[in-house]
Amino acid sequence: MVRLTFKNELQELWIASKDRTDKINYAQIRDVESDPIHTNENYEMVGLQLGLTPNSKQWFYFVPGQYIKAIKYCILNGGISTIPLLKEHGETIDDVL
């Protein structure tokens, strides 16, 4: 089990397990992919593309589905702090992903 912590002020994603914490700069993450878990409709698998090959993808399982769009937006757009501004312009997170 790991905990994902989004450090927007540092532009980092912290992946903390019982034994260690890995700190990954948002710029190192080339893509964020998600796939539903068919046996549990409320959860998805999230893959972070950390390198150029398919083997450099790190997968996280049983991520609550309601967080997927925010995770993608936060990592790929350098921080979640701009989401409230979308409503001022009549946009939704779906418009920018």
The alpha helices in 28-97, defined as continuous H runs, are 68-76, 83-88, 93-96
pLDDT for res 43? 96
Asked, for residue 13, whether it belongs to a domain, the answer is no
pLDDT for res 5? 92
Residue-range definition of the domain harbouring residue 31: 27-96
Splitting the chain (97 residues) into consecutive groups of 10 residues, what average pLDDT does each group show?
A: 90 94 93 94 94 90 92 80 53 53
pLDDT for res 88? 54
* CA 85/CA 29 separation, integer angstroms: 24
Asked, for residue 70, whether it belongs to a domain, the answer is yes
Q: Give this prediction's pTM.
A: 0.75
Asked, for residue 19, whether it belongs to a domain, the answer is no
Asked, for residue 5, whether it belongs to a domain, the answer is no
Asked, for residue 22, whether it belongs to a domain, the answer is no
Q: How many domains does the chain have?
A: 1
